[in-house]
Structure 1
Amino acid sequence: MDHPPSSSGPGPAADCPLVGVVASYLPRLAEFAFDPGLVAAVDQHAASVRDALVPRQRSGRGTSSGSRTRTGWAVSEAVRREDLADYVLGFTDWLAETEWTEPVGHDFASLRLTAVCWLVREHDLLSR
């Protein structure tokens, strides 16, 4: 994935893999308005990525304790840019090793990368 040029000022470095994912997959989020099934699939992928990156203690009801944000996750459980970038590097390396090519529709990998883009947007990871 190509990375767009970086700007001077706050934000991620040009070599941050999240920049390329957002450039490639942000347009897919516009499809949410027309495809509720896509919303559900991306939400499940985002939850899987979040669970892999943010260990949390579960109460008896399956929810975490602490203050809640607009996305329903405790502030202390926010996804960190560095962790998500590491995840993306590993995932895209695996895709390259398997010689994955992006399909016309949605497959596991494109849904996972769209979910990463959604997490970047929801946690505002490219502006800090």
Structure 2
Amino acid sequence: MSSKPLFSRLDHIAIVVRDTDEALTFYRDKLGLPVVIDERIESGNVRLTHLDMGNLHLQLVQPLTSDHPLNQHLDQHGEGLHHLCFETDDVRTSFAALPERGMKPKSETPHDGPLGRKAGFIDPSTSRDVIWEMTGPQ
């Protein structure tokens, strides 16, 4: 098993929300966090809004379709912390390294992320039931 860290740094903390515009009245207006990215990822049917927290981003994740799996998460848990995302030099290489570390990716290939980056989740059943995402260049 490799001792080299799989990730280089924490990229963002993701909060799942039902309505980004309504959530911004708290995160932007009350906490004073500036919006740096507000993007719809059509391939994932989500709106991703990043707010600057200084050394990392707070990401608001809003599902855009009624059948999106995050709606089930919202129904079960309500709005709140969804996952931690770490930056890696190469998402595909990091995905390929998961089995040698006793983990597996949640999907076969990374998905589209904001600003043209790629991202992918580790299957929580192999990561102590914590939802971990990694992001970086293709």
| TM-score of Structure 1 vs Structure 2, range by shorter chain | under 0.3
Give the number of the structure whose residues are more often helix, by fraction. 1
Q: Which has the higher strand share?
A: 2
Higher relative CO (CA 8 A, sep ≥ 6), structure 1 or 2?
1
